[in-house]
């Protein structure tokens, strides 16, 4: 069951099991505001635990991380979403630790394709990312301090649900 993310009133719905639920909700709302402002897109998420609708999306992202960088995220996924705007597929997975993983995948040959990591305010850098990525800081009214990093996707991966 999809639920729209309201960036006017930040809610922890769907993220309650995270020890940083408030900060993760702010990070999710920050993403929703970005897509609303830039593209007029309503950002919606769905539960991503085992047997839930977003589990397929979380599995696709996990598979991409494993094949591109031999990387396994140990924190369980809580919510996920995928959508296409202006020829780019976007897939997001929000993890219980406060980590958000997003995959930007241009659908045209030669377009941008990358994986982004964002850490919500108050969480430590996950051990699986600590020695492999450097994180830059940015401030957000909704999310506080966000730390982010990314890598460029080199292989071919068919985005989910297209």
Q: How far apart are CA 83 and CA 64, in angstroms?
A: 17
> How many other C-beta atoms are found inside a 10 Å radius of the C-beta of residue 72?
9
What does R_g of the chain's alpha carbons equal in angstroms? 15
Percentage of residues in the chain with pLDDT exceeding 70?
Answer: 99
104, pLDDT greater than 80: yes
Q: How far apart are CA 22 and CA 143, in angstroms?
A: 9
pLDDT tens sequence across 16-60: 999 999 999 999 999 999 999 999 999 999 999 999 999 999 999
Reported pTM: 0.94
CA distances from 12 to 29, 86, 94, 148 (A): 10, 29, 12, 21
């Amino acid at each position: 069951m999809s639920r729209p993310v309201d960036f006017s009133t930040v809610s922890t719905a769907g993220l309650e099991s995270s020890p940083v639920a408030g900060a993760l909700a702010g990070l999710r709302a920050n993403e929703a505001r970005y897509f609303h402002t830039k593209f007029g897109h309503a950002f919606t998420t769905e539960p991503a635990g085992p047997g839930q609708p977003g589990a397929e999306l979380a599995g696709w992202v996990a598979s991409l991380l494993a094949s591109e960088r031999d990387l396994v995220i140990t924190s369980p996924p809580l919510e996920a979403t995928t959508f296409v705007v202006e020829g780019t597929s976007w897939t997001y997975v929000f993890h219980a630790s406060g980590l958000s993983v997003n995959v930007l995948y241009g659908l045209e040959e030669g377009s941008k394709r990358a994986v982004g990591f964002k850490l919500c305010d108050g969480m430590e850098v996950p051990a699986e990312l600590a020695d492999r990525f450097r994180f830059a800081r940015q401030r957000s009214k909704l999310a506080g301090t966000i730390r982010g990093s990314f890598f460029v996707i080199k292989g071919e991966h068919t985005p989910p649900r297209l």
